[in-house]
Structure 1
Amino acid sequence: MPTDLTPPGRRPRVLHLTQPVDGGVARVVTDLVRAQLADGMDVAAVCPDSPLTTHLHSLGAHVRHWRATRSPGPSLAGEVRQLARLIDEMRPDLVHAHSAKAGLAGRLAVRGRIPTVFQPHAWSFEAVGGSTAALALRWERWAARWASRVICVSEAERATGLRAGITGRWAVVPNGIDPERFRPAAAAPVRAGLAPLAGLDADAPLAVCVGRLCRQKGQDVLLRAWEAVRRQVPGARLVLVGDGPDHDRLRADAPDSVLFTGAVADASPWYQAADLVVLPSRWEGMALAPLEAMACGRPVVVTDVDGARESLPPSLAARCLVPPEDPGALARTVGALLLDPPLRASLGDRARRHVLSLHDVRQTARAVADVYRDLLGTRPAVTQARPLLTAGDAGADRTTQRVEHSEHRESIHS
């Protein structure tokens, strides 16, 4: 059933604000925009110029380009000013800010004048350390006043925020994926069509890791575990699907049994080609890659970080969760599953049924629409233009200055 958020006189405009423009965050935004447009909503998006902007425009969203770096830095004040102008031009009734950088700039630009949904997609203070983490945590505590609702993708992510002293109005909406796009297929013909696998033994046990090549996703831990996996399963091969800031370092440390695909437009063939999918993350909200792999009928091995246990059916959680930063436990679990095809088939079947019942993207879109309805239900049909950033807001200016002078050692979110 379409979701009707339309007040008398005019459809409310929802504006999605995002930076980063790749990886799981971009896929979540794309899926929400597609579903909301299909439900007849007036949808806009603001993000840096990228393939994402082209794709969102092709879906029918109103799109504006925002010149913004991935992490806070000296350009933040100018980014906030430009964002305020864009929001003022587009006159949304609700702003949905995705991830730490967009949540930072968006809340500084709007400051509660428009209903604002903030979706962290994993907390910023988990991505960094030392004084930078302390600064990020202080910001999240202070800026919670400017979020009409904080959407977390798992109960564990919400609990992490509460333990950190972040107060606000919470909603938990688990991530969802498209089960028609990600669906089971026989591995052998799929492998035959993937050029990077040309020349490999079609029967070689194959593990696949899909994700941005960065510290968060833990591919370095998987490479440290891989030698022990190969001792258990001598013919096994590992494919790292994706690109990112750690590409060169990981490739330099990888043995010949590890293949790198670089960025791919569609990861579904790689899930279908795999015997097993691995994601050894150091932190997550609720990663999409395990959900996509399970929708393809493949068992997954993931680290027991926020959202991971909630994303798995009990039969996989009991067998396929390993402690983070533990190459030995990771190697034992991956090796045992690569050696047991009947168990993999059974776990993969249960995984697909689990995703269909709890992680269909249409369920996610309906739950997000319920949050919007709650925030927009009493708003007038026409929203008056409003100032969004004033020179007199000294508190916001001081926060901007403190954050823009902090130096992040890595991207705020993958």
Structure 2
Amino acid sequence: MNITSAQRHGKKVIHVVQHLAPGGLESLTLDLLSFANPCDQVLIVSLEGTKDESLKNWPRLQAFENQLVFLNKKSGVQLSLILTLIKAFKAVKPDVVHTHHIGPLLYAGYAARMAGVPVRIHTEHDAWHLEDKKHRRIQGMVLKAAKPTLVADASHVKEKLNACFSGSRSIVIKNGVDCTKFKPGSRQLARELFKLPENKIIIGSAGRLEHVKGHDLAIKALALLSKDTILVIAGEGSQRANLEILVEKLQLKGQVIFLGLVENMPRFYQSLDLFCLPSRFEGLPLSPLEAQACNIPAVVTNVGASAEVLCSHTGSLAKSNNVADLAQSLARSLANQSNRLPREFVVTNNNIHQMVKAYDELSMGELA
């Protein structure tokens, strides 16, 4: 590719995700679109789902409606989709195809190479799925076939990639958040917005209500804390009914509030005294970074690369899948009187502009 020409006229960049639904990886992809060079033409291709369904379930997508493509892939292997993508890439002639996670790598990464796309980037957003021998074998074969520039979003992920794929050469570009959007604000106004009590200690958690996110662990930990403490959960998912049953069983009704899908996440974080991510598995999560950018300290479980997003002066790292240790970590962080600001950690290490710049340089061949 003629770099000078691309810099002058902008690039055509296509991001490919599995399913464009609310989640950290997907939010990150939207940020890459939002903060891209204004001269670039950027699209996001979602292998699964339809536009109407996705816009309904995630209102944030409406601002990017004309830059989204949905292929409505059904479950299971669909090798014909590779041919579809090869034809599409040959017609559109993108300068860059950037895949996120194993499914998009399998279909779009290989298709991009066959279509002659000059720059192919694959970002690995977590490493826990590589514990599965089948996943590891498939990903190894596809990496050899697609030959993308391999990016890990955390040092932990890079170490796992190097261990699983001998000879793999990856670089680390850490996830970032928009520190102009996620910033400190009035706790009183935030609590008024969500109708939360002003005189309670509020711990918040955010994410898909799925087993992997460990909200049940946070609820059980709450039962071990002061009755003046409440847990507020932002998000939706298949486990909501089970979580509500657990709340009833532990007699915590009134101490656990489910907000559902929250669009104004900065205000959500601003309403909190402490943020908790009790996940059983993670890559490099965004929600603790967003909370800390709002100057809300965080407690995260020691899974994946979660430790890499934690301000060590204000937060606490809890043992995974351990209710007692999670409760102790929450109590310890609530009692912490550190004069350090967690926002300083995020601005220094995980600012969205640093991440976007690094990916832009990589797409121009400057970091490869």
Specify which of 72, 76, 80 is matched with residue 73 of structure 1.
76
Q: Per the alignment, do residues 93 and 109 of structure 1 end up closer, same or farther by CA in structure 2, a change over 3 Å counting?
A: same
Aligned partner of 1:140 in structure 2 is: 139
The CA deviation string for residues 199-229 of structure 1, in whole angstroms up to 9 with x for no partner, is: x3x1111000011112222212222222112
Aligned partner of 1:242 in structure 2 is: 235
The whole-number CA distance in structure 2 between the counterparts of 1:53 and 1:371 is: 30
- Code of the residue aligned with 2:276 in structure 1: it is V
The whole-number CA distance in structure 1 between the counterparts of 2:105 and 2:72 is: 15
Q: Where do 5+ consecutive residues of structure 2 fail to align?
A: none
The CA deviation string for residues 49-100 of structure 1, in whole angstroms up to 9 with x for no partner, is: 223998668459643322135xx515x3344343334333322121001123
Aligned partner of 2:101 in structure 1 is: 99
Q: Is the 8 A contact 1:116 1:148 kept in 2?
A: yes
Aligned partner of 2:343 in structure 1 is: 352
Q: Is the 8 A contact 2:109 2:148 kept in 1?
A: no
Q: Where do 5+ consecutive residues of structure 1 fail to align?
A: 378-414
Q: Per the alignment, do residues 334 and 86 of structure 1 end up closer, same or farther by CA in structure 2, a change over 3 Å counting?
A: same
Give the secondary-structure state (helix, strand or coil) at the position aligned to 2:142.
Answer: helix
Using the size of structure 2 for normalisation, the TM-score is 0.86
Aligned-pair CA distance for 1:167: 4.3
The whole-number CA distance in structure 1 between the counterparts of 2:166 and 2:210 is: 27
Aligned-pair CA distance for 1:235: 1.4
Report whether the alignment pairs 1:117 with 2:116: no
Report whether the alignment pairs 1:33 with 2:33: yes
The whole-number CA distance in structure 1 between the counterparts of 2:167 and 2:179 is: 35
The whole-number CA distance in structure 2 between the counterparts of 1:89 and 1:57 is: 26
Specify which of 320, 325, 350 is matched with residue 324 of structure 1.
320
Aligned-pair CA distance for 1:375: 7.3
Which structure 2 residues correspond to residues 172-251 of structure 1 after superposition, within 5 A?
A: 172-195=172-195, 197=196, 200=197, 202-229=198-225, 233-251=226-244
- Code of the residue aligned with 1:118 in structure 2: it is H
Give the secondary-structure state (helix, strand or coil) at the position aligned to 1:182.
Answer: coil
Q: Is the 8 A contact 2:128 2:282 kept in 1?
A: no
Q: Per the alignment, do residues 190 and 141 of structure 1 end up closer, same or farther by CA in structure 2, a change over 3 Å counting?
A: same
- Code of the residue aligned with 1:354 in structure 2: it is F
Q: After alignment, is 103-112 or 148-157 more displaced? A: 103-112
Give the secondary-structure state (helix, strand or coil) at the position aligned to 1:357.
Answer: helix
Aligned-pair CA distance for 1:160: 1.4
Report whether the alignment pairs 1:292 with 2:290: yes
Q: Per the alignment, do residues 37 and 59 of structure 1 end up closer, same or farther by CA in structure 2, a change over 3 Å counting?
A: farther
The whole-number CA distance in structure 1 between the counterparts of 2:356 and 2:29 is: 10
The whole-number CA distance in structure 2 between the counterparts of 1:46 and 1:321 is: 36
Q: Is the 8 A contact 1:151 1:172 kept in 2?
A: yes
Using the size of structure 1 for normalisation, the TM-score is 0.77
The whole-number CA distance in structure 1 between the counterparts of 2:175 and 2:168 is: 21
Give the secondary-structure state (helix, strand or coil) at the position aligned to 2:35.
Answer: helix
CA RMSD of aligned residues (A): 2.7
The CA deviation string for residues 76-127 of structure 1, in whole angstroms up to 9 with x for no partner, is: 334434333433332212100112322222124334542321112113625x
Aligned partner of 2:152 in structure 1 is: 152
The whole-number CA distance in structure 2 between the counterparts of 1:214 and 1:97 is: 24
